[in-house]
Amino acid sequence: MEEKVSVWKANLTNGVILGLIGIVYTLVVYFFDLTLNKVQGYLFLVILIVALYFLIKSYRDNYLHGQMTYGQAVGAGMVIFLYYSIITAIFTYILFAFIDPGLIDKQIAYAEEIMQKRGLPQE
């Protein structure tokens, strides 16, 4: 008889993979100073969606024998994304607290500059 693996345990590796993709992408953007580039945000969104698709497909093929309901796919995606979110939250804290504490000030200044260009008030 085959042992059933929980969706949480089965997708831990997938969540870590997606988290590492996010960290590597963030480091590339950071080291090439693309943090204020608007296009890189859209590119990352596409990368996340494609990676999430293949990770859910991997879960289906490896644990569900190639068959999955819509609800199972959504649940697996949520679990993978939860693990991804925890990993990237920890990395983001490390980035802003230890690697480059001045990065938040750069981003605030950039946001203020954009608001001024759009004619929004100082408040």
What ranges do the domains of the chain cover?
8-117
Q: What pLDDT does residue 123 have?
A: 63
- Say if CB 94 and CB 25 are below 8 A apart: no
For the record, the structure tokens of 93 come out as: 């804290």
pLDDT tens for each residue of 61-107: 999 999 999 999 999 999 999 999 999 999 999 999 999 999 889 88
| Distance (Å) of CA 25 to CA 8, 13, 32 | 25, 18, 11
% of the chain residues with pLDDT over 70: 95
Is the Cβ–Cβ distance between 11 and 80 less than 8 Å?
yes
Residue 65 phi, psi dihedral angles, 5° rounding: 55, 35
Cα 31 to chain centroid, rounded: 18
